[in-house]
Structure 1
Amino acid sequence: MAESSISFFVEKLYDLVSQQALLYGAVEGQVRLLRNELEWIRQFLEHADAERRYDKMFKLWVNQIRDTAYDAEDAIDEFISKVERKRQQRFNNLNFLPACVVLPDKLRLVNELNGRISEINIRLEKILINKRRYGMEDLRAYEPGSSSGIATTSERYSNQMVARKEKRLPAVEETNVVGMKNDVEAVKGKLLGGAMERVVVAIWGMGGLGKTTLAKKVSNDTDVQHDFSCRAWVYVSQEYNIRELLLGIANCVTTLTDEQKRKNENELGEEVYKCLQGKRYLIVLDDIWNTDVWQSLSQYLPEELNKSRVLITTRNQGIALYAHSDCHELQTLGEKESWELFLNKVGSAGLEEFKEKIVEKCKGLPLAIVVLGGLLSLKDLTRDSWLKVLNSMDWHLSQGPDSCLGILALSYNDLPSYLKPCFLYCGVFPEDSEIKASKLIRLWVAEGFVQKRGKETLEDIAEDYLYELIQRSMIQLADTRVDGRVKSCRIHDLLRDLAISEAKEEKLFEEGENIDADVLPTSVRRLININQTISPHLQNSNLRSLILNRSPIDDGGWVFLHKYPKLLRVLHQDRGMYGLKLSGKIGELIHLKYLCFSGITWRIILPPSIGGLVNLQTLDTGNDYIRIPHTIWKLKQMRHLNCRGGRISSRQSMRERWVEGHLGVHQMTNLQTLYLEGGDWLKDNNLGKLAHHLKQLKLYLYSHLKLKEESFRSIAQLTGLQKLKLLTDNFIESEGLSTSTPILFPGLESFSHHKCLYKLHLLGPIRKLPEETTLYPPNLMQLKLHYTEMEEDPMPILGKLPNLRNLRLLQGSYVGTGMNCPHGGFLRLEFLQMRLLKNLEDLSVEEGAMPNLKTLKIEYCEQMRKFPDGLLQLKKLQRLNLYEVSQELMSEVLETQGEDWNRIRRIITSQQPPR
């Protein structure tokens, strides 16, 4: 993995040398010398055998090289910070003088940098001499065939991805898992049969057997879903929090208000108890490690005579027995099932002699088989290629008794250098958590793990990285977007253990709880979670990333936010905290690329100094209460600005106008994501100037803003948009249009040129849906309408959209009483949700409509008295959610006899409890 760290730094040195304005005199030569030497070392490390990586002498040498590279990076970053700080101080002290004034003390800083880099070059040369002195072969024996190893790696990877992009992602629920049929039936029998009392059923067995996969298969079974009207799934893991587990259960079985979400553990437990009372429920508690979990949760799960069930998974049989559960032990796969699972991953063509030996060494562990199959699926189908893997297996398995861990280590070592830090970084997320793909990708980019590749965006390259890790089964696919791309992922806990262990060995990141409170090592580059005893030591550290994904320390511990580590690159806070005021000194963090406070659930105050974060790429507040200073527009490197409901302050000093010109969103020429409240910044067609880059736009356009239609007509120019959400509480003022003019949304007469737009969410009144389908985005896949107050039935028009797969008609979207889905309409629709349509009485589905519908949700449509007969013909319908509908409708569904009605009853996933 060290070669990955060096690769990133070598690229940084390339960029630094090209920026002649930063370097004077001999320092440029020293930097070039360092860059060239590290490039040779990177090439050598990339070609080193896996066995060598575990040699103690070799590891010592690699650690010394990596530490030297880190020291060089510190020296250069500190130099850049000092120069920028001097520049800002000079600008603030001089009235109306341009920022380009030569700093008189810059020469001193350059000389200081030159001295440090010279010392580092001398130290590096001594390390290389020691390598030869103690018997390791010559470094340059691994001379690459290209003068640029970075280019070679990028070119090789690009060629691999051309073929790989044609492959489909695996299904979210692993359909190729074999050997579980008997297990599924056994656990189903325990859930559906037996006593009327509440029963706990436990699936237990060693790690890597597929306990979670089995639990998912059982809970998603149509018979199980039909039998339990109320279901919840929560991941427990070793780092559990009872309040968060209760919150997870509550979110599955009811809709909580913001006030309810802020309740303490006991209050939340009472809410869960009341919600479950009187209902037949199934609660899945996945991955329990501690008996205290069951002891704490069981009191909030009603014990009634209605055959409610709790399903737990655990590695520890003692925990299963403690819960007085009906146990099911999951065994390893037999020879036949192991072979079938392996072939599902690698295909069936040739080399059977090697396949049999490889499968035998996996000893029936599904995780080992799947991960190894992912490795081999990307190898050439040649004897030499597979023999090398088989020999590597023998070596890895000889290092310890645990075959699964040995095979996982083999798969990790087989990763190309550009993927290793990306995989290890997944260990920073909590155990069993679902990782949002967009967040993971933005963090990889900010951390510098993604190498440039032609004219592609770094985010697109990072998405390719994610696809390859999924293809290799190093990361699991959790959910997909409507366009088939990755929405979220997770990492198996055994692979996460491997990632954390390797990351500590490679000094990629450290857990805060493992750090001595009195001494923060300078070698720590990234910290995961901290406590109050550590925070005072952060200011003078060389920390690059601080990631907080647990419940935060108390307010007093947040003093470190006023004393930032000066070289910080990533600051991520992802757990609940009420309110945050950032210090004005945050503007001194010129290396900061990623700033996220999505876990803050109240007001955030951003200081004007945020305009000093010249390298910031991502700002994510995820908050409804935030005022953003106008200096935000100075941040020309910004790629993702996500401030839900954030309002821009329009004040701008005369000095800023003179030096910077008129500040505005048009200066953010790298912007890809923008979530903001509308305002004066929308005028002058500023937004339209981002047409070539902006991919996601979410605007809050409220009537008190008094925006005219022309002030945001520039949206029509954003033809590269993929996702668009527009929210308004009233009609936007429109000149020259009568109320009968059919437009999809005020100010946007047509979306016909938005060929990339696949997801559209409109919240606010619509005069009338245009009947001409050419006015809609031609490739629209998902449409969500909210408070649109349509009076005419929208289904005949929307049914003509050729690519629509997901349609959500939410509260207030339609105020009429009847809907009709016509023959031949919605040919590709797979998901339909109708929620809180208070006036809807009749829904009819003609023959030939919605032939591919898989999921239908009818929720809080209490005026519907009759179940649509046309739904009986939908043979592909797999899930039907009926919630808070009339008693007449539910009685018809539950009591009408016939084969089609029996099928409908089997696929109901949620129903109103009997009154």
Structure 2
Amino acid sequence: MVDAIVSFVIERLGDFLINEAKFLYGVKGQVENAKIKLQCMRAFLKDADAQIRENGDERVCLLVVQIRENSYALEDVIETYVFRVASNNESVGATRRVLKCSARIIDVYKVGSKIKEISSNIDTWTSELEKYGVQRSMEKAAETSSSYVQERRQLRQAYSYVEDNHVVGFDKDIEELVALLTEQKNPHKPYKVISVYGMGGLGKTTLARKVYQHPQVRTHFDCYAWASISQQCNTREVLEGILFAFTSTNKERREEIRTTSDVELAKQLHDFQKQKKCLVLLDDIWTTKTWDLLKHAFPQGDTDSKILLTTRNKDVALHVDQGGFIHEPHFLSDKESWELFQKKYSCAGMDPSNLDSDDNERKKELAVEMLKKCAGLPLAIIVLAGLLSKKHTIYEWEQMKRNIVRCIGQGEQHDDSKYRSVWGVLGLSYIELPCHLKPCFLYLSRYPEDAVIRVKTSCLVLIAEGFISLRGSCMETMEDEAYDCLSELVERSMIQVKEMSSTGKIKSFCIHDLMRDLCVSKARDENFLHFIDLRNKVEEPIESVSTVPITNVRRVAIYCGPESTDNDIESADNDDESADNDIESADNDFVNMVRNIDGSLRYLSVNKGRIAFEEGVFRHVCNRFLMLRVLIIIDIPDSVCTTLPKEIGNLIHLRLFSMPYSLIKMIPSYFGNWRCLQTLRVCTVFDIIPNSMCKLEQLRHLYFYNRFSGVGVGEFLRSTKSRNLLQTLVGIHSKHLVLSDLLQLKNLKKLAIVVDGNFDSFLHNPQTLTFTRLLSLRLRGTALGNDFKIDIVPLILSCPQIYKLTLKSPIVRLPQVNQFSPNLIKLTLSSLRLEDDPMPTLEKLPKLRVLVIGWYSFMGDEMVCSRGGFNRLESLELIGLLGLKEWKVEESALSRLGYLHIEKCRGLRRVPDGLKNILTLNHMVIEYMPDKFKERMEEGGEDFYKVNHVTSRVFIECNEDYAYDCS
């Protein structure tokens, strides 16, 4: 990881030299020299890391820590100097210029001396590393590093002949893969390459072995070969091994093959697979480069031979064969997890019948609780069974449960078979990450376990910290690059997708508990980020955070309470006295914690539940942590307005400030001091953007959350220096605003605007110009009463590219089909108060996949989905249509619908008869509907035949309170 940090600092120094050269007066030479020395130092670091892992050399470890901390210090010194000079240049006045010039001379001397000192240290460390045997050669570093990884892999080497009779949950997977290999499935489109891809420990090799050994596969192919691939793939050995397996050669033939040239060997193997029907299993391929070294030995054209491969990286599978079949094994269910645990526990020689019945019952309860932490990962379950088989008392099981994730992760520490450590297996994925992805992964340690992580938020934080740089096309944005980094973590099976957006992009993801624990451990070891959970400080102590200062820490995430959701707010009112005491204790620890953190902090995230910044803690943050780039404060919403201290203007390095739930009384003018601010997310009431924010040059995303109305923009849009950078503008009010102001924002992608009776003036003298890059539009009206209606057609016509549209206001008329954007994918409607059925128009939108028709959008009593309509729609929600009595779905309408949600449409008598023809429908939610409506769809009900093919039917709060006349 240190090489990643040094690489990052080198890149930052390069940015300073290119973009901020005019502010490096007097120290530019020293900066260039320091950059060159760091580049030389970087050549040692991979070998140093490898020696630490392999030999645990404490001397090398201490040097690496010094390199890391001084690299950070170098960045801090230069960045502080640049911003001080830039701030001085903005001042005016002859006397002040003279004084500041004198001060700058002193600064130049001090800064230059500090840079020289760090550069001198780099020379010293270089000599020390060489003295301890660390090699400069990148080839040597790669060789040493790979030897450690190779050893880890050899310990878990898989062999084709090993039998595993305790396989659980793979029956359907085996059946599907066997059918594909033997061409019983898709015989007209046979797959040449079948890939098993997924997270470490998921059972890919076990599954592949079962398929490889399956009788149908054995009779289908003429020849078979199993090759376990190493990190530094020895192409010659792999190809020789495959040819040996195919030909069952004698000693003389083996010697002949060994003396054959590499080209001839590849040709022989290639030709053999063309002549015979062969199956090759390539187990554990990590990189596309490995396949490029092997591919010449495998026929690419028409052949009956096939390849079965396992990998953690989806890109590898796609690289081998873009048209191949990719299979991802599932995590085990609770039932399957328990079955596997029982088999492995018994396999370890434990006989539950010898235990006292009471002990047995309690152990079962504990085992079930601990299995939840395995989250269906087969390797974790196997390790857990092995550990518990050596613990015989209830007390030992209770002790293990208290720190279950760490126990499973580390496995049996004193066992020679280190492959039993789950961290040993998962850690290989971390070691294999390229430098630019390691910080992205370690950042995930800021989230508590089981958190659902939003991609958009993570991208903004990574950009704010400076860990994202444009590596691809010049047409890409930093946000695109950050998304690609997180996507690559998904492809590498480090994180799992939780939810996809309507456009097919990743919306949110999660991280397996064991992978997260590895992440937290690595982040702490590297002094990258400290996650501190004050809730668990007694049960699972991490460190004595309330008494011991954390020195030289760059990033801290403090978790004191539940995530801020509506459910959490509701439950918070019912906390008992003991919970209040816990919160008070957490308050004290939190205050002590913040006051003990070192001043070099760059990132502070606080999820504090009820904890308020009392006793001047917020002021302390603003006075102490002057290098902060990211400040995130998550609190449960309440009605109390917060006044931010004026000291907040001290945080001149801030790139991202997020305080989305606590009401801020006003947007202070001090925000204008944040010269580097990129993202602002605040909740405020009745305010206007201060003029001081116009001078901010790097603003990209503005989110204003307001419960009553939007935030007035004042002169901001006409005067802002960020006009060409702004991509997001959420929560602004249309008052004193005209459409032409918004059209000046050439890169605007997301717009959410609040309008009232002034909407006509907002559209006054509409321009012929259009939003060229706007992708998402949200329009909300604040005026009440049926008399208030707006004509949205001119605004819709100015947004020809949008794919997401939300309308929440009475409208004069629904736009015609050709007036909507042809790219529209998601449409959310609420409070439109339409008298005419909107379906005849909406069903013709060519790309619409998600449709929500919400409260008071349609005031009529009948809706009809016509024949062939909505041919791309996948999700439909009907909510709060109180007057709707009849909904008809004609033949071939909604042909791709997969999800249907009906809520509080209390007059609706029955579901349409046409639902029985929608075979793609697999999930249906009926919420707050009359009990009789529900009964009609249950087994034996009048409408059961319409929905009996739907896999998942969920009924929520359906009772007689919502009764209607069913006649």
Fold match by TM threshold 0.5: yes
Q: 2:888 aligns with which of 826, 839, 844?
A: 844
* Deviation per residue, 1:196-255 (Å, 9 max, x gap): xxxx999445577444999xxxxxxxxxxxxxxxxxxxxxxxxxxxxxxxxxxxxxxxxx
User: CA contact under 8 A between 2:921 and 2:950: conserved in structure 1?
Assistant: no
- The residue number in structure 1 matching 2:34 is 34
Q: Distance in 2 between matches of 1:702 and 1:316?
A: 71
1:555 Cα deviation from its structure 2 partner? 3.6
- The residue number in structure 1 matching 2:609 is 551
1:784 aligns to what SS in structure 2?
strand
Say if 2:604 is the partner of 1:566. no
User: CA contact under 8 A between 1:866 and 1:888: conserved in structure 2?
Assistant: no
TM-score, normalised via structure 2 length: 0.65
For residues 161 and 700 of structure 1, do their structure 2 counterparts lie closer, same or farther at Cα, with a shift above 3 Å needed? farther
User: CA contact under 8 A between 2:872 and 2:896: conserved in structure 1?
Assistant: yes
1:534 aligns to what SS in structure 2?
helix
Q: Distance in 2 between matches of 1:888 and 1:862?
A: 11
* Deviation per residue, 1:420-459 (Å, 9 max, x gap): 1111110111111111111111111111221222422111
* Deviation per residue, 1:253-285 (Å, 9 max, x gap): xxxxxxxxxxxxxxxxxxxxxxxxxxxxxxxxx
1:599 Cα deviation from its structure 2 partner? 3.6
Q: 2:600 aligns with which of 518, 542, 556?
A: 542
5 Å matches for 1:484-633? 484-511=504-531, 514=543, 517=546, 520-529=549-558, 531-537=590-596, 541-551=599-609, 553-556=611-614, 557-576=617-636, 578=638, 579-600=641-662, 602-622=663-683, 627-633=688-694
For residues 890 and 133 of structure 1, do their structure 2 counterparts lie closer, same or farther at Cα, with a shift above 3 Å needed? closer
Equivalent residues, number? 695
- The residue number in structure 1 matching 2:502 is 482
Higher relative contact order (CA 8 A, sep 6+): 1
For residues 716 and 763 of structure 1, do their structure 2 counterparts lie closer, same or farther at Cα, with a shift above 3 Å needed? farther
- The residue number in structure 1 matching 2:186 is none
Using the TM superposition, name which of 880-889 and 788-797 deviates more: 880-889
Q: Distance in 1 between matches of 2:133 and 2:416?
A: 25
User: CA contact under 8 A between 1:823 and 1:847: conserved in structure 2?
Assistant: yes
1:911 Cα deviation from its structure 2 partner? 4.3
- The residue number in structure 2 matching 1:65 is 67
- The residue number in structure 1 matching 2:232 is none
1:641 aligns to what SS in structure 2?
strand
1:185 Cα deviation from its structure 2 partner? 11
Say if 2:804 is the partner of 1:750. no
1:713 Cα deviation from its structure 2 partner? 4.8
1:664 Cα deviation from its structure 2 partner? 3.3
Q: 1:640 aligns with which of 697, 701, 722?
A: 701
Q: Distance in 2 between matches of 1:473 and 1:571?
A: 29
User: CA contact under 8 A between 1:432 and 1:493: conserved in structure 2?
Assistant: yes
* Deviation per residue, 1:493-538 (Å, 9 max, x gap): 1111111111111110124563655664442111122711133345
Letter in 2 for 1:809: I
Q: Distance in 2 between matches of 1:511 and 1:886?
A: 47
User: CA contact under 8 A between 2:712 and 2:735: conserved in structure 1?
Assistant: no
- The residue number in structure 2 matching 1:452 is 470
1:681 Cα deviation from its structure 2 partner? 6.3
For residues 712 and 571 of structure 1, do their structure 2 counterparts lie closer, same or farther at Cα, with a shift above 3 Å needed? farther
Say if 2:803 is the partner of 1:768. no
For residues 810 and 9 of structure 1, do their structure 2 counterparts lie closer, same or farther at Cα, with a shift above 3 Å needed? same
For residues 577 and 73 of structure 1, do their structure 2 counterparts lie closer, same or farther at Cα, with a shift above 3 Å needed? farther
Q: Distance in 2 between matches of 1:423 and 1:436?
A: 14
1:882 Cα deviation from its structure 2 partner? 2.0
For residues 569 and 709 of structure 1, do their structure 2 counterparts lie closer, same or farther at Cα, with a shift above 3 Å needed? closer
- The residue number in structure 1 matching 2:158 is none
- The residue number in structure 1 matching 2:329 is 176
User: CA contact under 8 A between 1:819 and 1:843: conserved in structure 2?
Assistant: yes
2:835 aligns to what SS in structure 1?
coil
Q: 2:752 aligns with which of 687, 698, 705?
A: 698
Letter in 2 for 1:11: E
Letter in 2 for 1:671: L
Q: Distance in 2 between matches of 1:892 and 1:671?
A: 52
Q: Distance in 2 between matches of 1:446 and 1:396?
A: 43
1:890 Cα deviation from its structure 2 partner? 3.1
Letter in 1 for 2:623: K
For residues 436 and 99 of structure 1, do their structure 2 counterparts lie closer, same or farther at Cα, with a shift above 3 Å needed? farther
User: CA contact under 8 A between 1:694 and 1:720: conserved in structure 2?
Assistant: yes
Q: 2:879 aligns with which of 835, 840, 844?
A: 835
Say if 2:447 is the partner of 1:429. yes
- The residue number in structure 1 matching 2:239 is none
Q: Distance in 2 between matches of 1:534 and 1:498?
A: 24
1:678 Cα deviation from its structure 2 partner? 2.0
Letter in 2 for 1:890: K
Q: 2:945 aligns with which of 887, 892, 900?
A: 900
Q: Distance in 1 between matches of 2:698 and 2:608?
A: 29
Q: Percent identity?
A: 28
Q: Distance in 1 between matches of 2:314 and 2:427?
A: 24
For residues 396 and 619 of structure 1, do their structure 2 counterparts lie closer, same or farther at Cα, with a shift above 3 Å needed? farther
For residues 516 and 872 of structure 1, do their structure 2 counterparts lie closer, same or farther at Cα, with a shift above 3 Å needed? closer
Letter in 2 for 1:790: L
- The residue number in structure 2 matching 1:724 is 777
Letter in 2 for 1:545: Y
* Deviation per residue, 1:100-132 (Å, 9 max, x gap): 997442222122211110111111111111112
Name which one, 1 or 2, has greater alpha-carbon Rg.
Answer: 2
- The residue number in structure 2 matching 1:798 is 842
* Deviation per residue, 1:611-642 (Å, 9 max, x gap): 11010111112556665423223222011111
What CA RMSD, in Å, does the superposition of the two structures yield over aligned residues? Answer: 4.4
- The residue number in structure 2 matching 1:129 is 127
2:70 aligns to what SS in structure 1?
helix
- The residue number in structure 2 matching 1:345 is none
Letter in 2 for 1:120: I
TM-score, normalised via structure 1 length: 0.68
Q: 2:727 aligns with which of 672, 689, 711?
A: 672
1:865 Cα deviation from its structure 2 partner? 1.9
For residues 318 and 581 of structure 1, do their structure 2 counterparts lie closer, same or farther at Cα, with a shift above 3 Å needed? farther
Say if 2:18 is the partner of 1:20. no
Using the TM superposition, name which of 889-898 and 484-493 deviates more: 889-898
Letter in 2 for 1:5: I
User: CA contact under 8 A between 2:338 and 2:371: conserved in structure 1?
Assistant: no
Q: Distance in 1 between matches of 2:415 and 2:465?
A: 33
User: CA contact under 8 A between 1:630 and 1:650: conserved in structure 2?
Assistant: no
- The residue number in structure 2 matching 1:147 is none
For residues 546 and 788 of structure 1, do their structure 2 counterparts lie closer, same or farther at Cα, with a shift above 3 Å needed? same
1:768 Cα deviation from its structure 2 partner? 1.8
Q: Distance in 1 between matches of 2:657 and 2:763?
A: 33
Unaligned runs of at least 5 residues, structure 1: 145-154, 188-199, 215-286, 288-314, 323-364, 369-392, 653-660
